[in-house]
Amino acid sequence: MVLQALKYENEFISLLRLLRDKTFSKRGYSWTGKLLSSLLLTLTHTYPLENKFVNPEEWDSQGQHLHLVLLIAT
């Protein structure tokens, strides 16, 4: 997610500068702040590629897969 956002770094910066220079209303400032907040959240949060809350050997075992399937199915 961050790498995709960084590809557009120059566009983001120029957009934020334009909004800073041309915004004169409370609504404009509010939306500019929301955009900046969303951008910073995207750039600073961690997005895990995999979520495994068990040990690797337990995850890879056939019994664990069956247990998870039965747990999810019920």
- What DSSP letter does each residue of the chain carry, written as one string? -HHHHHTTHHHHHHHHHHHHHH--SHHHHHHHHHHHHHHHHHHHS---S----S-HHHHHSHHHHHHHHHHHH-
Residues of the domain holding 23:
2-73
**Structural domain count of the chain:** 1
Region of 25 (left: φ > 0; alpha: ψ -120 to 50; beta: rest) is: beta
Q: What pLDDT sits at residue 37?
A: 92
**What pLDDT was estimated at residue 60?**
73
What is the structure's pLDDT at 14?
A: 92
CB 64 within 8 A of CB 54: yes
Can you give the pTM of this predicted structure? 0.52
Q: What is the mean pLDDT of each run of 10 residues along the chain (74 residues)?
A: 71 90 90 90 74 71 68 68
